Amino acid sequence: MPVNRRHYYFVTHLTAAVFNAFSEMNQGGIITFVITRLRKIK
């Protein structure tokens, strides 16, 4: 299946926007928690 570049572009920017929003709202608290949790699993 060919990659839908427009869809990929949209998803990438949407993810980035959500990531930035969480960073600003929680000062990276939740993201840091998730990363720490993932590191513990690995």
Residue 35 pLDDT class (50, 70, 90 cuts): confident
Tens of pLDDT, residues 12-33: 998 998 888 777 766 667 777 8
Domain count, the chain: 1
Q: What is the residue range of 24's domain?
A: 5-41
* Locus of tokens 């959500």: 18
Tens of pLDDT, residues 2-15: 778 888 888 899 89
Q: Do 31 and 22 touch, CB atoms closer than 8 A?
A: yes
* Ordered alpha helix ranges (H), 1-42: 5-26, 29-41
* Cβ neighbours, 10 Å, residue 22: 15
